[in-house]
């Protein structure tokens, strides 16, 4: 049988044609996506990767809300120029508690994956309110309202942590019970700073070299 007579058969039989189209368009996914979903090594958190605390999780939500990932990526590629500038390249296991991940796809500002610990909390506070106070040539907008809004008003932290636990994030009952009091008295800027300071710190020191 040649492909031409097969083609004729398929063209004259709608059911067969639909099946054929589905089969062909599924092959890419069957080869590239399905095995990855079943690859345990990609779901293994790196040594120091922990689920985000109530404060960090709130900071992460603020990061999403303010669209930080529009200008900042969180993925360091295994190229010497990036590793020299930003630090060890990103590993899959560092993102297991990111739902969704904030990899981003454009760098108007620098990559932020290894920003944790690079600057002090005070620096982040000043820089977030008005970046030009510390970096005169910066084109980043200021986010002064972060210092005026309470972190506890950014969504329902207990509901968020409970939902994430259902997805497999190992939060304890005590952590969830303490979540609201953890946020007490904190402003959004404190939560965002806490999130920025934890970024990229999940790597084993051995690998980091």
Partner 1 sequence: MVADLPTGFWSGWVIVLTCVSLATLVWIVLSVYFAPPDSKSTHGEIDHDPVWDTDLREGTSAPPLWWFWMLLGALVFSLGYLMLYPGLGSFEGLLNWSQGKRLVSSYENYEESFDARRAEIAATSLSELQGNTALMETADRIFRRECSACHGADGRGQAALFPNLLDVDWQWGGSPEQIEQTLRGGRNASMPAWEASLGEEKTRDVANYLLNFSDRGHAGRTVYEQNCAACHGVDGTGNVFLGAPNLADNTWLYGGDIDSILATLRQGRAGKMPAFDEQRLDAAQLKLIIAKLAR
Query: Which two structure tokens, joined as six digits, stand for 15?
Result: 């059911």
Q: What is the DSSP letter of 97?
A: T
Interface with partner 1 (CB under 8 A), residue from 71, 92, 140, 150: 92
Interface with partner 1 (CB under 8 A), residue from 33, 36, 163, 178: 36
Decide if residue 103 touches partner 1 (CB under 8 A). no
Decide if residue 17 touches partner 1 (CB under 8 A). no
Binding span for partner 1 by CB under 8 A among 14-22, 64-72, 131-139, 182-190: 131-139
The H helix count followed by the E strand count for the chain is 11, 0
| Number of chain positions touching partner 1 (CB under 8 A) | 38
Interface with partner 1 (CB under 8 A), residue from 13, 108, 120, 181: 120
Query: Which two structure tokens, joined as six digits, stand for 35?
Result: 């095995």
Nearer to partner 1, 59 or 131 (CB): 131
User: Could you say which residues in the range 147-176 bind partner 1, by CB under 8 A?
Assistant: none
Decide if residue 29 touches partner 1 (CB under 8 A). no
SS3 114: coil
Identify the bridge partners of residue 150 per DSSP, sorted by sequence position.
187
Query: Which two structure tokens, joined as six digits, stand for 43?
Result: 């779901």
Contact call for residues 92 and 99 (beta carbons, < 8 A):
no
Q: What are phi and psi of 187, to 5 degrees?
A: -95, 165
SS3 150: strand
What whole-number distance in Å separates Cα of residue 127 and Cα of residue 13? 65
Binding span for partner 1 by CB under 8 A among 76-84, 144-152, 160-168, 174-182: 76-84
Binding stretches for partner 1 (CB under 8 A): 2-5, 8, 27, 30-31, 34-36, 38-39, 41-42, 78-80, 83, 87-89, 92, 117-123, 126-127, 133-136, 208-209
């Amino acid at each position: 049988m040649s492909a031409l007579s097969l083609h004729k058969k398929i063209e004259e039989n709608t059911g067969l044609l639909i099946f054929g189209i589905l089969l062909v368009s599924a092959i890419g996914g069957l080869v590239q996506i399905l095995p990855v979903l079943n690859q345990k090594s990609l779901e293994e958190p790196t040594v120091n990767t922990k689920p985000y605390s109530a404060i960090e999780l709130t900071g992460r939500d603020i990061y999403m809300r303010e669209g930080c990932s529009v200008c900042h990526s969180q993925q360091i590629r295994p190229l010497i120029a990036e590793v020299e500038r930003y630090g060890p390249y990103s590993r899959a296991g560092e993102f297991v508690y990111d739902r969704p991940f904030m990899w981003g796809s454009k760098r108007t500002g620098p990559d932020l994956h290894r920003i944790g610990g690079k600057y002090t909390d005070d620096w982040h506070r000043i820089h977030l309110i008005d970046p030009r106070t510390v970096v005169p040539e910066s084109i980043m907008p200021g986010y002064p309202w972060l210092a005026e809004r309470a972190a506890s008003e950014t969504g329902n932290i207990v509901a968020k942590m409970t939902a994430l636990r259902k997805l497999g994030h190992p939060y304890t009952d005590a952590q969830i019970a303490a979540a609201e009091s953890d946020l007490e008295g904190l402003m959004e800027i404190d939560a965002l700073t806490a999130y920025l300071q934890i970024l990229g710190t999940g790597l084993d020191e051995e690998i980091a070299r």
